[in-house]
Amino acid sequence: MIIHAVWGFTLVAAVLTVIPGIDTTLVLRTALVHGRRRAAVTAFGVCAGLLIWGVAAAVGAAALLAASRMAYRMVSYAGIAYMVYLGGSMIVKSFRDRAVESQDESETQHAGSLRAMFLTGAGTNVLNPKVGVFYIATIPQFIPAGVPALPMGLLLACVHALLSLTWFAIIIVGAYQAKQWLSRPRALRIIDRVAGITIIGFAGRLASEIH
């Protein structure tokens, strides 16, 4: 029974994973601009956010988000502000009159920067109410009767995280290959601007869906 539930959820989560969204945009931009290591850290941060929502949905905390319009709006506004800040900072950075640092992965990476990448990835999911609504709408449906909700919900969230990591790995490898032709400073600035505008676009779409 549990196996059937896991397979059913896997099919649903796989479709959600490959649909382009802010997570994919963020990981792709990080891979192109900052390299594979930081992109991988960002991807793990994104999946950490999935696990947080999975636990919340399993214990029923995310039900408040689905049931309370005020709670949904609060998370939505926080998410919109975060996305605008994230996208805006990318655009502002692309216009700074300074030399773009080398993106060679053999360079020493600052621990604080890696931590920031992880938190940025996690923040895109934790502050995205649509992820919470998806989990509260799907995870309870795939918890068999008599099975403890918390471990089962966490298992399903781990399945989603594993699918996401696999997808992000494909994106990172592909971006690394493309980076051979996109390593010039001007190209990196364009990537930042396109990614920033795209992320702000996601914020605008989320704002238009708030009622």
The pLDDT value recorded for residue 177 is: 75
In angstroms, what CA-CA distances link 27 with 1, 7, 40, 148, 205? 35, 26, 8, 34, 20
The pLDDT value recorded for residue 22 is: 84
The pLDDT value recorded for residue 68 is: 65
Helix (H) and strand (E) counts in the chain: 9, 0
The pLDDT value recorded for residue 179 is: 67
The pLDDT value recorded for residue 39 is: 92
The pLDDT value recorded for residue 157 is: 87
The pLDDT value recorded for residue 136 is: 73
Spans of the chain below 70 pLDDT? 60-68, 71-72, 75, 79, 97-112, 179-185, 187-188, 206, 209-211
Angle at the Cα of 122 from the Cα atoms of 121 and 128, rounded to 5 degrees: 100
pTM of the shown model: 0.71
CA max distance for the chain:
61
Cβ contact 143:79 at 8 Å: no
The pLDDT value recorded for residue 59 is: 73
The pLDDT value recorded for residue 166 is: 94
The pLDDT value recorded for residue 55 is: 81
The 10s digit of each residue's pLDDT in 59-88 is: 765 556 556 677 667 767 776 787 788 778
